[in-house]
């Protein structure tokens, strides 16, 4: 696994909201000046002694409310601050419905924190003040209690204080995520795998043929080419699993899983939903990585590669030379192996 930016490691979280919370929480915990700047940004004033004792946690469970907080900051018995990241854009009414449980958690803990509480909502892009006022009204809280920040705010906060490699990498990571469509032509060759082989059942193959895309989990590597290892094949294919096609990747982007249903026939949408419902924990609102294939770049291999490696795999990396010369996947040089 090639990693030029440590914050890319957090993509092991399937949820992009969890990724952001883990990255920003790490910086808050390790940089007092950033922590102080963040607290001032949301209207919290604490002295240097208390600042050193701020407790910071991510993914905090509140079982009774059936909730998990993205990021929580507690300053002794003084401040109780919950931060919730929302990637997808939503109307104030929808957002308020999602945030009500967090307001309730804060209210239930109010008596233990004498100086005050905050609910901080982190959105990808800024929203107008009139929308913030409307959201506060829907939540029956004050604008002092509710603070809405954007990713740009976090980038600017990371620039306060000493300019370190970690803060710079965080700014680059978040900046890339804000403008998350990446062109493979603009990437350095050493930063991109040559060929990514993905296992593709008939339902997803049909989606690829219609939309000219491939989808994988959000932490999957970028690649110049996608090779399709098609499973559950029937006659006239001589084998059940073969690498049959390869296509050039034009761009990659992170999108909500539900977007892959857009533009597909209703019957195929239904099959995709039914297939996905069989996978425990599948959430259509979560993000995944979409590989947008170059138009007319799909090529059928003259000699399909037989898959004869036992066990369940999801994807693996290889080279174009290996793809063309191998007769079976067992013969292929898979770089650092299946993953």
Antiparallel, parallel or unpaired: β 67-75 and 54-62: antiparallel
Q: Which of 48, 45, 67, 70 is nearest to 57 (CA)?
A: 70
Cα separations (Å) of 206 from 108, 197, 293?
Answer: 50, 17, 14
pLDDT of residue 77 exceeding 70: yes
Element at 204 (helix H, strand E) = helix 202-211
Instruction: Note the pLDDT tens digit of each residue in 53-74.
Output: 788 888 888 877 778 888 999 8
- Reading the block at residue 174, the tokens are 């978040």
The per-residue pLDDT of the chain, averaged, comes to 83
| Cross-strand pairs, 199 | 229
| Prediction pTM value | 0.55
Q: State in Å, rounded, how far the first CA of the chain is from the last one.
A: 10
Return the percentage of the chain with pLDDT > 70, whole number. 84
Mention every residue, 6+ apart, whose C-beta is less than 8 A from residue 48.
none
> Is residue 279 classed as helix, strand or coil in its secondary structure?
coil
287: left (phi over 0), alpha (psi -120 to 50) or beta: beta
pLDDT digits (tens, 9 = 90+) for 162-179: 677 788 878 777 766 665
List, in order of start, the domains of the chain with CATH numbers.
Answer: 6-178 (3.40.91), 183-331 (no CATH)
Across the range 191-200, mean pLDDT stands at: 89
Q: Measured between alpha carbons, how far is 168 from 187 in angstroms, rounded to an integer?
A: 19
pLDDT at 111: 79
- Amino acid 338: pLDDT: 38
């Amino acid at each position: 696994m090639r990693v030029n930016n440590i914050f890319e490691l957090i993509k092991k979280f399937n949820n992009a909201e969890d990724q952001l919370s883990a990255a920003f929480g790490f910086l808050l915990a390790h940089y007092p000046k950033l922590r102080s700047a963040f607290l001032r940004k949301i209207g919290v004033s604490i002295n240097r002694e208390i600042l050193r004792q701020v407790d910071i946690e991510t993914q905090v469970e509140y079982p009774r409310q059936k909730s998990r907080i993205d990021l929580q900051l507690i300053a002794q018995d003084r401040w109780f601050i919950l931060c919730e990241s929302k990637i997808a854009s939503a109307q104030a009414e929808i957002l308020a419905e999602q945030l009500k449980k967090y307001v309730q958690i804060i209210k239930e803990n109010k008596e233990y924190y004498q100086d005050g509480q905050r609910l901080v909502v982190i959105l990808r892009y800024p929203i107008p003040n009139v929308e913030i006022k409307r959201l506060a009204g829907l939540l029956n809280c004050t604008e002092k209690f509710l603070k809405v920040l954007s990713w740009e705010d976090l980038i600017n906060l990371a620039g306060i204080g000493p300019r370190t490699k970690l803060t710079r990498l965080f700014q680059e990571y978040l900046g890339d995520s804000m403008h998350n469509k990446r062109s493979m032509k603009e990437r350095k060759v050493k930063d991109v795998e040559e060929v990514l082989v993905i296992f593709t059942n008939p339902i997803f193959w049909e989606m690829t043929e219609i939309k000219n895309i491939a989808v994988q989990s959000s932490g999957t590597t970028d690649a110049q080419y996608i090779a399709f290892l098609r499973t559950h094949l029937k006659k006239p294919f001589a084998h059940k699993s073969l690498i049959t096609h390869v296509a050039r990747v034009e761009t990659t982007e992170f999108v909500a899983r539900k977007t892959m249903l857009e533009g597909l026939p209703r019957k195929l949408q239904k099959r995709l939903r039914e297939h996905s419902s069989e996978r425990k924990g599948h959430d259509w609102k979560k993000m995944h990585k979409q590989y947008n294939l170059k138009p007319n770049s799909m090529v059928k291999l003259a000699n399909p590669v037989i898959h004869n490696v036992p066990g369940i795999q999801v994807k693996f990396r290889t080279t174009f030379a290996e793809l063309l010369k191998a007769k079976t996947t067992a013969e292929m040089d898979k770089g650092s192996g299946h993953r």
